[in-house]
Chain A
Amino acid sequence: MNVAVLLNAMPGAVSQGLIWGVMAIGVYVTYKILDFADLTVDGTMALGGAVCVMLMMRGVPMPLAMLAAVLAGMLAGLATGLFHTAMGIPPILAGILTQLSLYSINLWIMGFKANQGISVTKYCLLVSGRNVRALAANNPIFVMAIVHAALIGLLYWFFGTEKGCALRATGANERMARAQGINTSRGKVLGLMISNGIVALSSAILSQYQGAVDVNMGRGAIVIGLAAVIISEVLFGRLFTNFALKLSGVAIGAVLYYIVLQFVLWLGLDTNMLKLLSALVVALFLAVPYWNGRFRANMARREARQNA
């Protein structure tokens, strides 16, 4: 095994991690703040790219195309939100329904082709995988650091406003929120829209980075997002108590996830097995707090028995 190969792959891994980190922050908004496991993201993670690439191919400037992608993502969040709040469908199922609809919608947007390319030589792109080793302003790592600073700053501001606080209260204790006059249904819809807007932004960036959008691009995105959230919680849970630091932690979590991924690929794991590995890792990390609690309960019981 050649260590140089691994090191050579690192800039790409970090770039991808940072791009997926944007999506992970979107997942954080629903999963941690709203306490809503939103499976829409698997669909939104292809939707943003589809909208962005197809618009750019029709001559729309890149910033506008990305804005449209974000708005499309927010619409997807709106759909899931209405499935849940207006139609009473449980969160997971509401997300799955939108996700499934998005598969058709994404194909429709992409002219019923499974993928569409957008070359960096012909278009002005925000980031491109070709520049991962460039020591220049267009290096994706550098660009993504700025994107993260802006995004985290914006979210930090928003969740400190009256509306943002109301949203946090909705996720923390719905009954209390309603008793304090907060429209929790509207809050959930708003939260889902924000989250999916962020995910679509990530998707639009990823498709530019790859130079193509693929209808299956978002498959398993929710698991990657959860992995990033959980990794950051396990590693920085005690250290990062400030909200902005927590969001940064999620982005770092995504980067670490991609570095680990690169590492196991270097060890010789088949690319096709990656999703299985991701799922198992997330399952394991989700189980840790549960096992911890059970272990402590057992200890307490044993102590009580000894004292009796």
Chain B
Amino acid sequence: MLELNALRKVFNPRTVNEKIALDGVDLRLEDGDFVTVIGGNGAGKSTLLNAIAGVWPLDGGSVRIDGEDVTSLVEHERARWLGRVFQDPMTGTAATMQIEENLALAMRRGRKRGLRRGITRAERELFRGKLADLGLGLEDRMSAKVGLLSGGQRQALTLLMATMQRPRLLLLDEHTAALDPRTALKVLELTDRIVRENHLMTLMVTHNMRDAIAYGNRLVMMYEGRVIMDISGEEKRALTVPMLLEKFALLSGDDFASDRALLS
């Protein structure tokens, strides 16, 4: 269970560039919730994920994971609960390290790292199987440097790294936005499969309304640092893009044309 209580974050406070990125966000995710988050540019979607991940301290509010208050913990301390995939395929993996080394690093998320071997033979076998499941042929290139992989391959690998140690919460920050449409679809299908198989509590930020409707059991819309809509169940299943646009105009009082980024 994830409980976000009155999250507040202000960037560049007391300057002309002051920006209230999160303006009192309350959100509660139950186990197994797969929530898609949409909103225009600057609505606070990525900021929300960064707030949960502890990238910087909050200006107000609290984050609880399974009832435990993690608000005062820094990024690497919160990592034991979180699996993360970023928008830029370069961010989630270490380019100069081997595929298997990256996986071995992910395998030790939330564990103490000592002077034992950084990667064991048993792990290599495990990785081979997991990579074969991706269906990208990476199982035969385990000692290749990650920098040699394509963006889609890197995102698939990051996804595997984020979920190999089952996270309590999976954070996906527009993780298909930098990929071409075909690869994006593949990575999304893979995401859906992994989330379902492992019954993962997931927050997926996306720019794409169709994706937001097609995936997950719940949809959250953000606007100017607030959650303005939260739809789940039957209502979510019946949702269409035009309906979403209409709701957006109604709730935000904003004409949709002024926020075209939402459509993309």
Which residues of A pack against B, CB within 8 Å? 158, 160-166, 168-169, 172-173, 175-184
Contacts and interface: CB of A to CB of B under 8 A. Distances in A.
Contact of B97 (A158, A163, A172): A172
A165 B115 contact: no
A163 B109 contact: no
A178 B79 contact: yes
A165 B119 contact: yes
Given A162-B113, A162-B117, A162-B118, A179 B94 contact: no
A182 B76 contact: yes
B94 A173 contact: yes
Dominant secondary structure of chain B at its interface with chain A:
loop
A162 B112 CA distance: 9
Contact of A172 (B53, B76, B80, B94): B94
A163 B79 CA distance: 17
Interface string B46-81: 000000010000000000000000000001110110
B33 interface: no
Given A165-B101, A165-B118, A176 B113 contact: no
A161, A176, A177, A179 — most chain B CB neighbours (10 Å): A179
Nearest to B97: A172
Nearest to B54: A178
Contact of B76 (A158, A161, A183): A183
Nearest to A168: B97
8 contacts: A160-B117, A161-B115, A164-B118, A166-B108, A172-B97, A180-B108, A180-B109, A181-B109
Nearest to A158: B115
B104 interface: yes
- Chain B: interface residue count, which band? 20 to 34
Contact of A162 (B82, B86, B92, B116): B116
Contacts of B94: 168-169, 172-173, 176-177
Given A166-B113, A180-B161, A182-B76, 20 more contacts: A161-B115, A162-B113, A165-B113, A165-B118, A168-B101, A169-B97, A172-B97, A173-B91, A175-B86, A176-B91, A177-B105, A178-B75, A179-B53, A179-B79, A179-B82, A181-B108, A181-B109, A181-B110, A182-B105, A182-B113
B252 interface: no
Contacts of B84: 179
A213 to B, nearest CB: 34
B181 interface: no
Contacts of B92: 176, 179
A161 B116 contact: yes
Interface string B108-130: 11110111111100000000000
Contacts of B53: 179
Contacts of B114: 161-163
A236 to B, nearest CB: 17
Contacts of B101: 165, 168
Nearest to A159: B118
B117 A181 contact: no
Given A163-B113, A163-B115, A165-B118, A176 B93 contact: yes
B187 interface: no
A160, A162, A182, A183 — most chain B CB neighbours (10 Å): A162
Nearest to A161: B115
Contact of A178 (B76, B80, B108, B113): B76
Contacts of B79: 178-182
A165 B114 CA distance: 10
A163 B116 CA distance: 8
Nearest to B114: A162
Nearest to B107: A180
A179 B75 contact: yes
B104 A165 contact: yes
B106 interface: yes
Contacts of A184: 76
B188 interface: no
Contacts of A182: 76, 79, 105, 113
B65 to A, nearest CB: 14
B198 interface: no
A136 to B, nearest CB: 37
Contacts of A175: 86, 91
Contacts of B76: 177-178, 181-184
Contacts of A177: 76, 94, 105
A191 to B, nearest CB: 14
Contacts of A181: 76-77, 79-80, 108-111
Nearest to A170: B94
B95 interface: yes
Interface string B197-227: 0000000000000000000000000000000
B150 interface: no
